[in-house]
A and B are shown apart, each in its own frame.
Chain A
Amino acid sequence: MQATMTFWHKEWLAAWRNYHVLILAVVFVIFGIEAPLMAKLMPDLMKLALGNQLPIKLPQPTSSDSWQQFYKNTSQIGIFLLALIFSGSVSQEVSSGTLVNLVTKGLPRYAVIMAKYLVAVVQWVIAIGGSFLITWGYTAYYFPDDKSPHVWLAIWPVLLFGLFFIAVVLLGSTLINSNYAGFLVAALVFAGLALLNYVKAVKRWNPLALVTDNLDLVRGTEKITHILPACGVTVVAALVILGVTIWTFNRKRL
């Protein structure tokens, strides 16, 4: 534990100096503001684009439009940005040899992976949590309607998916000595899960449900119990992948 904490401090310093904290903060705050802004602007933008010749009257935007934009941004761009940022987390240090000294002086190898994972998780939780609170505030102010009754329920699955996704990125970064390996492996896993979604029998168990069903959860058209099996699979998969990552890293030549 002590070793993990020591490496944890080093990882935070690196995240700060490499501008990772800045990028995540700025992008997720932008997402938080952009979601209600796009929902609010959409009818006006349509009017500007099409002039006054629209045959139908455009419906007024609702809180549901704002949340739709939020979950689109976070699940389609946000998690991939996360993967990109942590892509070289292990591979970069292995190829530059910066871990050799620390490990030979007694730093347990598992502490390296655990610290990297925890630092990434904390950054993810703060980024998505902050972004969510910003969207929540603006949405409640601009769209005080009853179209999104379960706002606080739908964010947890995304958060959970992030924990799984970070574990996949770290595994990729540990398996292959390339700066973009973590990202590529995560993208492949994501694509694999998307393909798996075509099999109806496994849909409820697919971790991808955690980032695709959010709007239904917000609107109340789907209950959280529907994706509980997928939540379970995601947690177990994250733990197993983290274990495999530590196992691989223990056998890796630094």
Chain B
Amino acid sequence: MHNSDLFFNNLPLVVPLMLLELGLLVAALVSLYRRKTVRHGNRLIWTLAIVLVQPFGAIAYFIFGREVD
């Protein structure tokens, strides 16, 4: 049993999950780079959090980091 087997045996579950997380990642990055400022930390820290800690980084950005309009 390899990791790839786990992936390919569960495609109907894994693919929607990956698409969702990718969508959230893109939405968070677009929002982050459209704004001039962020709350709590700076742009680099939020970029790293969004990209590296999926999906919690993006969710945390939207709740804590996004500057409210």
**Chain A contacts to B: CB under 8 angstroms:** 17-19, 22-23, 26-27, 29-30, 33-34, 36-37, 40-41, 44-45, 47-48, 81, 84-85, 92, 138
Contacts and interface: CB of A to CB of B under 8 A. Distances in A.
Contact of B14 (A22, A37, A44, A92): A37
A33 B6 contact: no
Contacts, number: 55
A132 to B, nearest CB: 16
A40 B14 CA distance: 12
Interface of B: 1, 3, 5-6, 10, 12-14, 16-17, 20-21, 23-24, 27, 31, 55, 59, 62-63, 66, 68-69
A41 B69 contact: no
Contact of B13 (A40, A48, A84, A92): A40
Nearest to A24: B59
A36 B68 contact: no
A26 B24 contact: yes
Contacts of B1: 44, 47-48
A36 B20 contact: no
A37 B17 contact: yes
A26 B62 CA distance: 12
Contacts of A19: 27, 31, 62, 66
